[in-house]
Amino acid sequence: MSFVINFKSHIAELFAQALREVAPDAAQIDILIERPKQASHGDYACNLAMQLAKPLRKSPRDIAQALIAALPASEVIEKVEIAGAGFINLFLTKAAKQAIVHAVLHAGAGYGHIHLGAGRKLQVEFVSANPTGPLHVGHGRGAAVGDCLCNVLHAAGWNVTREFYYNDAGAQIENLMRSVQLRCKGITPDDPSWPEGGYRGDYIADVARAYMAMETVEADDQRTTGKGDADDEVAIRHFAVAYLRREQDLDLRAFNVEFDVFSLESALYSEGKVEETVSRLVASGHTYEQDDALWLRTTDFGDDKDRVMRKSDGGYTYFVPDVAYHLDKWRRGFVRVINEQGADHHSTITRVRAGLQALDIGIPKDWPDYVLHQMVTVLKNGEEVKISKRAGSYVTLRDLIDEVGCDATRYFLAARHPDSQLVFDIDLAKSKTNDNPVYYIQYAHARISTVLETWGGERLSLLQADFSLLDSEYETALLQLMIDYPQVIESAAQDLAPHLVAFYLKDLASAFHSYYNASRFLVDDEAVKCARLALIAAAAQVMSNGLALLGVSAPEKM
């Protein structure tokens, strides 16, 4: 039997061929292949006949019969049935399901990778925290979701660039400079002269000490040396930005997150990109002058009101450099751009897209995409934790990593839909029980590794196992889940939803633990033993692949 790795895609292609024969004029219709909720309804179902009923003016059942008759032969399909008003249910052969074990073991770390992106260029901007303090748990959620999304999109065949954009000037950076300068002069936040917008965390004192000691700091995109002069505001500003960028890099490295590109807002001004963008918008005819300000007619592009671009004092509003930055992304050739940001950025989506549309250069109206995450509440001993020794006013990402480890932090921050509120329970994340999903999944992988180590055989020999012996309910459940894995990656990539991988891994671990508790693997019958070991080795491979997408380790011992 030839191996089919993505059954859903294979069946969709069969129906595409049938559709070209039955209804050639409707060949562009989307073909939806789904997994029925009830096993009795088959392994896959297709509602194509229902979709064609209106355009063909025929009953769905008649269309379903015609489609089935036109389906090309496939050795993985055992039977096809019509159900209800015209649903088409398909049943896979046992041999096709069992052969997935060989497919997984043969593909190894590449199992599940698909060609959805076809190598096209895609950029994901995430974290993008201004360098004014340590990364907080909200930044951590953005880092986890953004990085996992990049991993999923890479597995789906996209050419992914990870980008970090930040503001190294403006009011927040001015407050940072002033706070560090006061600390350099021995003034603390308790002093009445401390500015209202000043930063009060202990980290400010660390920056000041390093600057006065003339230390050299080097971040991934910054390098500078302290001058030890408490009156040199320019030097203090540069040093503070570089120092805190380095701290961010250290936090992100501890979180297993790295970036390909760093972009600075100041560069958009110094390189003339903001002025060029404004000139282009004026030339496009979508701007007007009113009240000594320059306005963009964003209502032409779906906004609820027009937006000021240049204020009466000559300064630009914050969305103007955003438009310039995204124009730069477009020019860099990214077919797709995804911004992973906090939910407080929701209001910027319409105006940034409107600004890009107003340039009249062919940028799609839904470009870029956005993934917005909600807030994180941290619990410990059943009570909310709100402050950090290091930052003072909030819980930092490093606090969580130090408390529960990188694996648990990444999993918990990425394991829910970004648009949902997240409660991070430190006690649960640290527990070694089945209630902790990270422990539960990693323990499944470690259990398999222990069984295989006890066996001690050559794992490549498992490719020759007799997979037809895998027919118990527990084995069938594991086989079906492994079959589903490429489709999970496809859904996670299409919906920009990496949490689907986390959900899937819990189900896979659960199916394995049930199998482990009901079965023996190192049995006397050599053929049965090899078949079962091959199955769990394949399950471990899929677990490892899925955990890698989440940036979580797959331990062999626990």
Q: Walk along the chain (558 residues) and give the pLDDT tens digit of each residue.
A: 456 678 998 999 999 999 999 998 887 888 999 999 888 889 999 999 999 999 899 999 999 999 999 999 999 999 999 998 899 999 999 999 999 999 999 999 999 999 999 999 999 999 999 999 999 999 999 999 999 999 999 999 999 999 999 999 888 999 999 999 999 999 999 999 999 989 999 999 999 999 999 999 999 999 999 999 999 999 999 999 999 999 999 999 999 999 999 999 999 999 999 999 999 999 999 999 999 999 999 999 989 899 999 999 999 998 999 999 999 999 999 999 999 999 988 888 999 999 999 999 999 999 999 999 999 999 999 999 987 766 677 899 999 999 999 999 999 999 999 999 999 999 999 999 999 999 999 999 999 999 999 999 999 999 999 999 999 999 999 999 999 999 999 999 999 999 999 999 999 999 999 999 999 999 999 999 999 999 999 999 999 999 999 999 999 999
Tokens linked to 514: 């049930």
Q: What is the full DSSP assignment across 430-445?
A: H--STTSHHHHHHHHH
| Domain residue limits, the chain | 7-92, 171-257, 435-550
Instruction: Indicate yes or no: pTM above 0.85.
Output: yes
460 burial level (CB within 10 Å; 0-12, 13-18, 19+)? exposed
Residues 6+ apart with CB under 8 A from 431: 439
CA 136 – CA 406 distance, rounded (Å): 15
Closest CA to 173 of 124, 233, 123: 233
Fold of 435-550: Isoleucyl-tRNA Synthetase; Domain 1 (1.10.730)
Length of the chain: 558
- What is the C-alpha to C-alpha distance for residues 299 and 121, in angstroms, rounded to an integer? 31
Work out the number of other CB atoms within 10 angstroms of the CB of residue 519.
15
Token pair recorded at residue 266: 């100041």
- How distant, in Å, are the alpha carbons of 135, 137, 242, 311, 436 from that of 399? 10, 9, 22, 41, 19
Instruction: Name the E strands within 412-527.
Output: 422-425
CA distance 221 to 111: 35
CB proximity list for 285: less than 8 A, separation 6 or greater = none
Strands 336-342 and 369-373, sheet pairing: parallel
State whether residue 496 is helix, strand or coil: coil
Strand boundaries in 397-511, DSSP class E: 422-425
What kind and span of H or E run contains 80?
strand 77-83
Strand-pair partners of 46 = 33, 88
121-125 and 336-342: which strand pairing?
A: parallel
Please tell me the CATH superfamily of domain 7-92, with its number.
Answer: Arginyl tRNA synthetase N-terminal domain (3.30.1360.70)
* 97: three-class secondary structure by DSSP: helix
Whether residue 321 is preceded by a cis peptide bond, meaning omega within 30 degrees of 0, is no
User: For 267-272, which contacts have Cβ atoms below 8 Å and span 24 or more sequence positions?
Assistant: 268/321, 268/324, 268/325, 268/328, 269/321
Nearest to 487 by CA among 86, 18, 11: 11
The sign of the dihedral angle between the CA atoms of 463, 469, 472, 473 is: positive
Burial of 323 (0-12, 13-18, 19+ CB in 10 A): buried
Q: Which of 18, 144, 128, 166 is nearest to 80 (CA)?
A: 18
